[in-house]
Structure 1
Amino acid sequence: MKIAILGTRGIPNYYGGFEQFAEFFSVYLAEKGHEVYVYNSHNHPFQEPVFHQVNIIHKNDPEHKLGTFGQFIYDYNCIMDSRKRGFDIILQLGYTSNSIWFFLLPKKPVIITNMDGIEWKRSKYSRPVQQFLKFAERLAAISSDFLVSDSLGIKDFLKKRYGKDSTYIAYGAHPFENPDASLLQQYQVESGKYNMIMARFEPENNLDMVLEGVVLSGDVTPILVVGKHETKYGKYLKDKFREHSHIRFMGGIYNLEHLNNLRFYSNIYFHGHSVGGTNPSLLEAMASRAFIAAHNNSFNRGVLGENAVYFSNPQEVKNILQSIKKNDNLQLVQHNFESIVNDFNWEKINGQYLQLFHECFSGTKKRN
């Protein structure tokens, strides 16, 4: 099959979850003998035409000049290019800025869309933007040939709201097998003597809630706050907690080996995400054998079950810090690791996507 992947800033991953998936899945497809193309922003750090047998198509992306509106132009450029390529399948990752161009998509390929999370519920968006995202979500749901949900909660939501069936395929993660404590020296921490939270700096990821709990607890154990913080919200958090030197804003860390080791050797790994489907960083924390304290919501519970502790406010974060240690909960850590090995491994996830592609392309799976 001749396959295209749209909707990301490109591969290899320098940004986030969809880019990570696009990298792993596209290389997997190419190794299976398929002709694979991934669309990249023109200013992506990787400028070569091929990445591990995957063809890279660079298209102009003015987001750096125009902000969010630039994403719409980038998606338009990608979709217009796809019209002349003769693809069999186009996989769209997300819908936020590409769904308005659905009428321009080529007619021949099968269009499969991963619907991501419920974007319009994100608190960072103004009410007009939230209304647009509802509209974009509907366009994507009704115009795609097939839908993919990355959590059972999203699958149920799409069925109830739009009457559309979707195929549940979670994200994956690679089991982390070879920890190396020497890497901790670069981050000035010691094994088991620091905590950690990693997220994009957005209100619904509850960084503020966790850090308020840290301060309330009186615990001066270092906590590493990992994520790109050169944003308005990042400035707010850095200003708010600037007097607490044990709260360390690390910026973005994209070296997966370093992240895996930091998660593995941490005492408590806080996961504050509260909106969306299966979050990639949560699966990576499970794969790294981190001990997880997660925000109490259906998405996190759907992945972690009883193998985590949960919080809903700063007081509960405080209680966790004052009373719970990783070494007393190693059985929960092991259960999460086994979930990655058995249910959320990339080989299985990639295989599920490829099976869906075969069913959609051959016509054995009927369109909604």
Structure 2
Amino acid sequence: MRIGILGTRGIPNYYGGFEQFAEFFATYAASKGHEVYVYNSHNHPYQQQIFNDVTIVHCYDPEFKIGTAGQFIYDLNCIRDSRKRDFDIILQLGYTSSSIWFSLHPKDAIVITNMDGLEWKRTKYSKKVQKALQIAERLAVKKSDYLISDSIGIQKYIQEKYQKESTYIAYGAHNFDKANADILKEYQVEKENFNMLMARFEPENNLDMVLEGVALADEKTPILVIGNHLTKYGTYLKNKFSSFEHIRFIGAVYDLEYLNNLRYFSNIYFHGHTVGGTNPSLLEAMASKALIVAHNNDFNKGVLQENAFYFSSAEEVKKILNTIKKSNNLQFVQNNFEAIAKSFNWEKINEQYLQLFEQCLAGNSNRK
């Protein structure tokens, strides 16, 4: 198959979940003999034209000049270029800034869209923007040939709201068990004597709620807050909790070896996400044998089941910090580790994508 992957800033991953998935899936599909193209922003750090047998197509991305509006132009540029490539399959990752251009996708290609999370629920957006995102969601559902949901919750939502079927395929993770405690020295922490909170600095990820609980707790174990805090919301949080020396804002960390070791050796790993499907960082925490304390919502519970502690308020975070230790809950840790091997491993996820592509092609043999 000739496969085009659109909707990310590019590979290798320097940004987030979709970029990470694109990197793993594209290289996997290429290793199986498929011809794979990934669209990268023109200013992506990786400027070569081939990455692990995947062809990289750089398209102009004016976001660095004009902000969010630039994402729409970048997506348009990618879709316009895709019309020249004779793709069998176009995998569109997300829809927020691309769905208005969906009618421009090449007619002979089968367009399969991963619907991501409920983007219009993100609190960082104004009411007008949330309304626009609902329209974008509806366009993506209507214009795509096939849909992928990365969680059962998203699949159910699409079925109930739009009466349209979607294929459930989660994200994946690699089980991690080659720990290196030397990495902890760089962060001045010790084994199971620090906690972690890792997320984009956005209100719906509940960093504020978690850190409120940390501030209230009698337990003063250091907590590493990982993510790009050079934002307006990041500045707000740093100012709010500046008097608490055990709350350490260490910035974004993209090196998976570092992240996996930090998760592996942490005492508690907080996951505050509330919007979206199967979150990649959550799976990585499970795969790294972290003890997870997650926000109490259907998306997180759908993945973790009974193998985590849950919170809905700063008071509950406080109580958990004062009473819960990883060493007393190793069965939760092991159950999540085994769930990755059984249900969320990348080999299985990647193969599910390829099987879906083959089924879609077989059902649309007249398209070529």
What TM-score does the superposition give when structure 1 sets the normalisation length? 0.99
**Structure 2 Cα separation of the partners of residues 143 and 225 of structure 1:** 40
The amino acid that maps onto 1:221 is T
The amino acid that maps onto 1:273 is H
1:303-318 equivalence runs, <5 A = 303-318=303-318
1:118 matched residue in structure 2 = 118
Q: Secondary structure at the match of 1:355?
A: helix
1:7 matched residue in structure 2 = 7
**Aligned-residue offset at 1:273:** 0.3
The amino acid that maps onto 1:94 is G
2:193 matched residue in structure 1 = 193
1:97 matched residue in structure 2 = 97
**Aligned-residue offset at 1:216:** 0.5
The answer as to 2:247 corresponding to 1:239 is no
- The unaligned stretches of length 5 or more in structure 1 are none
1:332 matched residue in structure 2 = 332
The amino acid that maps onto 1:296 is N
1:249 matched residue in structure 2 = 249
The answer as to 2:274 corresponding to 1:267 is no
The amino acid that maps onto 2:113 is T
Q: Secondary structure at the match of 1:186?
A: helix
2:174 matched residue in structure 1 = 174
* Of 215-224 and 257-266, the range deviating more from structure 2: 215-224
**Aligned-residue offset at 1:364:** 7.3
1:220 matched residue in structure 2 = 220
Q: Secondary structure at the match of 1:147?
A: strand
CA contact (8 A) 1:360 1:366 kept: no
1:18 matched residue in structure 2 = 18
Q: Which runs of 4+ in 1 moved over 3 A?
A: 364-367
**Aligned-residue offset at 1:366:** 12
**Structure 2 Cα separation of the partners of residues 175 and 308 of structure 1:** 18
Q: Secondary structure at the match of 1:129?
A: helix
Per-residue displacement from partner, 1:87-139 (whole Å, max 9, x unpaired)? 11000000000000011111000000000001001111000000000000000
Q: Secondary structure at the match of 2:225?
A: strand
2:34 matched residue in structure 1 = 34
Q: Secondary structure at the match of 1:140?
A: helix
Q: Secondary structure at the match of 1:331?
A: helix
2:155 matched residue in structure 1 = 155
**Aligned-residue offset at 1:209:** 0.3
**Structure 1 Cα separation of the partners of residues 269 and 62 of structure 2:** 36
Q: Secondary structure at the match of 2:262?
A: helix
Shift in alpha-carbon separation, 1:53–1:188, aligned structure 2, 3 A: same
What TM-score does the superposition give when structure 2 sets the normalisation length? 0.99
RMSD of aligned Cα (Å):
1.2
Shift in alpha-carbon separation, 1:329–1:116, aligned structure 2, 3 A: same
Q: Secondary structure at the match of 1:86?
A: coil
**Structure 2 Cα separation of the partners of residues 73 and 366 of structure 1:** 31
**Structure 2 Cα separation of the partners of residues 288 and 190 of structure 1:** 17
**Structure 1 Cα separation of the partners of residues 123 and 365 of structure 2:** 37
**Aligned-residue offset at 1:12:** 0.2
2:138 matched residue in structure 1 = 138
**Structure 2 Cα separation of the partners of residues 48 and 119 of structure 1:** 32
**Aligned-residue offset at 1:219:** 2.1
**Structure 2 Cα separation of the partners of residues 324 and 365 of structure 1:** 56
**Structure 2 Cα separation of the partners of residues 358 and 163 of structure 1:** 24
CA contact (8 A) 1:201 1:227 kept: yes
**Aligned-residue offset at 1:245:** 1.1
Q: Secondary structure at the match of 1:113?
A: strand
The answer as to 2:49 corresponding to 1:43 is no
**Structure 2 Cα separation of the partners of residues 10 and 361 of structure 1:** 25
The answer as to 2:293 corresponding to 1:320 is no
- The unaligned stretches of length 5 or more in structure 2 are none
CA contact (8 A) 1:27 1:53 kept: yes
CA contact (8 A) 1:3 1:35 kept: yes
